[in-house]
């Protein structure tokens, strides 16, 4: 059984504010260790219940956050940016299940550091008219490759979100959201137990299922009109509101590639403190 872990950082143990996840800060250096600890706990549970190979795909920001030197020696790690499938790179390699570790709520919703791809310029994303977090988008891509979502971890808001897009997944709440920048956190020793147990329990659902391929529509709303104007220069992307764009794609893989371009163009259009 081959399992993939898509490892994001905002939903990791103890993370509550910007400096915890921004590369180069003192806090980031601290939370890299806790993040790696979450991943290792999950790896241990997967191997304990029959996994034969675990690929960890770094999915946060620079995608160079986990400490390879501290990683469980049985796993492999995909690190670095500019991967064609981004957070889901590796989902097309024949894996039998995927873990969404350290995930968070989507843009426009309550949750610790909630956002969808861009930290604060996007106010909402919709997949086929349904509000979409990164988890929902990535679950749709997993379905396209016949890969079940086994575990989702993060704050309570992320787990509430996952109950809808991955109702059979094991959910691990490592902290309780108080505000965007505050949470009631469990210490690493306790979250490690929860993550290992959930990962082990989830292995009874591992195994590829029927692939689900269908056309999709994604709409994105920004916090400023010029970002929508910038994104609308992309072929197939249409400005459908003052701050909103939309596009159609034949499948989820193509939809996510287009979404990456939309977010990259919008991020490049941000000008200092005025956005």
pLDDT in tens, 84-97: 999 999 999 999 99
Please tell me the predicted confidence (pLDDT) of residue 177. Answer: 98
Establish if 275 belongs to a structural domain.
no
Looking at the fold, whether 127 and 235 belong to one and the same domain comes out as no
| φ and ψ at residue 107, rounded to 5 degrees | -55, 135
What are the residue ranges of helices labelled H in the chain?
26-48, 134-144, 156-165, 188-202, 225-231, 252-268
Please tell me the predicted confidence (pLDDT) of residue 113. Answer: 98
For each of the chain's 275 residues, which pLDDT tens digit applies?
999 999 999 999 999 999 999 999 999 999 999 999 999 999 999 999 999 999 999 999 999 999 999 999 999 999 999 999 999 999 999 999 999 999 999 999 999 999 999 999 999 999 999 999 999 999 999 999 999 999 999 999 999 999 999 999 999 999 999 999 999 999 999 999 999 999 999 999 999 999 999 999 999 999 999 999 999 999 999 999 999 999 999 999 999 999 999 999 999 999 998 99
Looking at the fold, whether 12 and 125 belong to one and the same domain comes out as yes
Cβ atoms of residues 225 and 244 within 8 Å: no
For residue 109, count other CB atoms closer than 10 A to its CB: 17
Domain that holds residue 122: 2-205
Would the annotation count 254 as a binding residue? Answer: no
Would the annotation count 134 as a binding residue? Answer: yes
CATH number, domain with residue 249: 3.30.1360.130
Establish if 274 belongs to a structural domain.
no
Give the span between the Cα atoms of 59 and 132, in whole angstroms.
Answer: 17
Could you give the number of structural domains in the chain?
Answer: 2
CA distances from 76 to 13, 43, 100 (A): 21, 10, 16
Active-site residue 115, yes or no? yes
Q: Tell me, rounded to whole angstroms, the distance of Cα 58 from its chain centroid.
A: 10
Catalytic pick among 82, 115, 216, 226: 115
Q: In what order do the strands lie in the sheet with 122-127?
A: 130-131, 122-127, 216-222, 244-249, 238-239
Closest CA to 159 of 111, 205, 193: 111
Looking at the fold, whether 56 and 144 belong to one and the same domain comes out as yes
Would the annotation count 168 as a binding residue? Answer: no
Give the span between the Cα atoms of 105 and 252, in whole angstroms.
Answer: 20
Retrieve residue 64's tokens: 């160079």
Would the annotation count 10 as a binding residue? Answer: yes
Give the span between the Cα atoms of 257 and 251, in whole angstroms.
Answer: 10
Looking at the fold, whether 159 and 249 belong to one and the same domain comes out as no
Question: b vs e for 125-150, b when ≥16 Cβ sit within 10 Å of the residue's Cβ?
Answer: bbbeeebbbbbbbbbbbbbbbbbbbb
Place of tokens 């996994």: 51
Please tell me the predicted confidence (pLDDT) of residue 93. Answer: 97
Closest CA to 5 of 52, 59, 49: 59
CATH number, domain with residue 93: 3.40.50.10780
Say what the pTM is: 0.97
Retrieve residue 17's tokens: 């504010």
- How high does pLDDT run on average in the chain? 97
Place of tokens 């969404």: 100
Establish if 210 belongs to a structural domain.
no
Looking at the fold, whether 108 and 237 belong to one and the same domain comes out as no
């Amino acid at each position: 059984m081959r399992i993939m872990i898509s490892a994001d950082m905002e939903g990791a143990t103890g993370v509550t504010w910007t400096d915890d996840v921004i590369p180069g800060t003192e806090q980031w250096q601290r939370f890299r260790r806790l993040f790696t600890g979450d991943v290792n706990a999950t790896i241990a549970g997967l191997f304990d219940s029959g996994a034969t190979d675990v690929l960890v795909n770094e999915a946060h920001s620079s995608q160079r956050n986990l400490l390879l030197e501290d990683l469980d020696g049985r796993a492999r790690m995909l690190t670095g940016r500019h991967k064609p499938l981004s957070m889901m790179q590796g989902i097309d390699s024949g894996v039998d299940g995927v873990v969404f570790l350290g995930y968070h709520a989507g843009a426009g919703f309550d949750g610790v550091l909630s956002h969808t791809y861009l930290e604060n310029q996007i106010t909402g994303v919709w997949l086929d008219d349904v509000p979409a977090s990164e988890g929902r988008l990535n679950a749709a891509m997993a379905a396209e490759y016949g890969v079940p979502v086994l575990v989702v971890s993060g704050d309570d808001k992320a787990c509430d979100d996952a109950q809808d897009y991955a109702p059979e997944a094991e959910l691990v709440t490592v902290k309780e959201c108080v505000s965007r920048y505050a949470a009631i956190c469990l210490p690493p020793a306790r979250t490690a137990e929860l993550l290992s147990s959930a990962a082990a329990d989830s292995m009874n659902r591992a195994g590829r299922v029927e692939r689900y391929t269908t056309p999709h529509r994604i709409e994105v709303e920004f916090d400023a009109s010029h970002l929508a104007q910038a994104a609308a220069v992309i072929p197939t992307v249409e400005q459908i509101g003052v701050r909103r764009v939309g596009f159609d794609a034949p499948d989820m893989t193509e939809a996510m590639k287009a979404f990456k371009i939309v977010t990259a163009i919008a991020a490049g259009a941000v000008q200092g403190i005025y956005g």
